[in-house]
Every structure is written in C-alpha cells, then in structure tokens.
Amino acid sequence: MRYFPTLLCCLFIFCCGSAYAQEMSLHLPSFNQQSLDHQKTAMLTLGGWAVANIAAGGALQGSAEGTTKHFHQMNALWNTVNLAIAGFGYYSAMKSDPATWDLATSLSEHNGFQKVLLFNAGLDVGYIMGGLYLTERAKRPGVNADRLKGFGQSVMLQGAFLMAFDLVNYFIAAGKNEAIPLLLGSTENGLGLMLIF
C-alpha cells in the first residue's frame, strides 16, 4: 500500500504523456502538410510566371525589333529554367508523404526550405547586378548594343521578380516558425519532458 501513491503518480504521468504524444502526432502531420502546401503554391506561382513569360516572349519577339526583341528572347529562355525548377519542386512536394516524417525530418525540411529561399535571394541580387552590367556594357563601342541592353533589362526584371518571390515565400515560411516550440513540447513554463513506454 505504501507504493500506491508512487504507482498512481507514474500511471498519471504515463497517461498524460500518451495523450500529449497523440496530440503532438496530430499537430506534426498538419504542420508538415501546411509546409508542403506552401511549397506547392510557391512552385505553381513560379510555374505560372514562367509559362506567361515563355508565351509572351515567344509571341512578342517575332514582331519586335532591336532591344525589345532581345528582351523578349531572354525572358522566354530564362523562364524555361524557371519552369523546370517549378516542375521539379512541385513534383517533389507531391510525392512527399507528410505523415511519415518524424520531428527531426519535419524541422529539417522546414528549415531547409527557408535556407534555400534565402540563398536564392542572394543569387537574385547577383542576377540584378549582372543585368545592370550588361546594360552598362551595351554603351561601349563595337558591341551588339541592342542584344546586351535587351538581355540586361530582361535579367534585371527576372532577378527582381525572383527576389520578391523568394523573400515573400521566406517570410511566409518563417511565420510558421512560431509553431516549432509547440512541436518540441514547449509550454509557457519552458520545455517539458515526455516519456513514451
């Protein structure tokens, strides 16, 4: 009888831990699904931008001349790469099963997506600078000024769009970071310890 309070306490901890584990397991797949849905939406947005640029660039370059012709050519060419990236990203998100991810995988995927977006935003600055370089180089004698200027303007436009795209999606993904302490078992009083038997 003297072990009864200890046994009762252990049983209470076990029941609460099991209930918390079930609650957490319900939240983790939901968190994962939201992350994948965000990635799908981002890839559909990028794909839509790519298709619009390929269609417009292909249609308008035939009737355009000079700088404008090269601007549309580069828009179409550049976005074939964007379309491939969007297609691969969407396919990867579609084949992922968020219910199979454990906590470590969930956090790794979520943080990895944010890191890729920030890295890409840095590349986007480089694209814009490269476009500026091409437009400046077009002012030199003995070069194909129309092509350099048209390509430069296109690269600046594409870089600016991609930078806005990457930063907006980064902030959307980062907004979900506040759910991570709950996934880790944090409470208002700090972190909890969960034992599963």
Q: Which H or E run includes 146?
A: helix 145-174
Whether residue 187 is predicted with pLDDT greater than 60 in this model: the reply is no
Quick: pLDDT tens for 149-173: 999 999 999 999 999 999 999 999 9
Whether residue 120 is predicted with pLDDT greater than 90 in this model: the reply is yes
Q: What is the DSSP letter of 179?
A: G
Q: What is the pLDDT of residue 180?
A: 79
Helices then strands, each counted (H, E), the chain: 5, 2
Q: What is the pLDDT of residue 98?
A: 86
Whether residue 186 is predicted with pLDDT greater than 90 in this model: the reply is no
Q: What is the pLDDT of residue 34?
A: 92
Q: What is the pLDDT of residue 17?
A: 40
Q: Nearest to residue 61, comparing CAs of 51, 70, 48?
A: 70
In the predicted model, what is the mean pLDDT of the chain? Answer: 84
Rounded to two decimals, the pTM is 0.78
Residue with tokens 């907004």: 175
Whether residue 100 is predicted with pLDDT greater than 50 in this model: the reply is yes
Whether residue 4 is predicted with pLDDT greater than 70 in this model: the reply is no
Average pLDDT of the segment spanning 72-100: 95
Q: What are phi and psi of 171, to 5 degrees?
A: -70, -30
3-state secondary structure of 186: strand
185 pLDDT band, cuts 50/70/90, is low
CA 57/CA 76 separation, integer angstroms:
5
CA 75/CA 53 separation, integer angstroms:
6
Give the relative orientation of helices 66-95 and 4-61 as an angle to the nearest 10 degrees. Answer: 150
CB 82, CB 154: distance < 8 Å? no
CA 49/CA 44 separation, integer angstroms:
9
Q: What is the pLDDT of residue 16?
A: 40
Calculate the alpha carbon distances from 76 to 33, 51, 88, 136 in Å.
33, 9, 19, 22
CB 113, CB 39: distance < 8 Å? yes
Calculate the alpha carbon distances from 122 to 40, 127, 152, 163, 175 in Å.
22, 9, 18, 8, 20
Residue with tokens 């077009």: 138
Q: What is the pLDDT of residue 62?
A: 87
**Which region among 4-13, 53-62, 134-143 has the lowest average model confidence (pLDDT)?**
4-13
Q: What is the pLDDT of residue 137?
A: 96
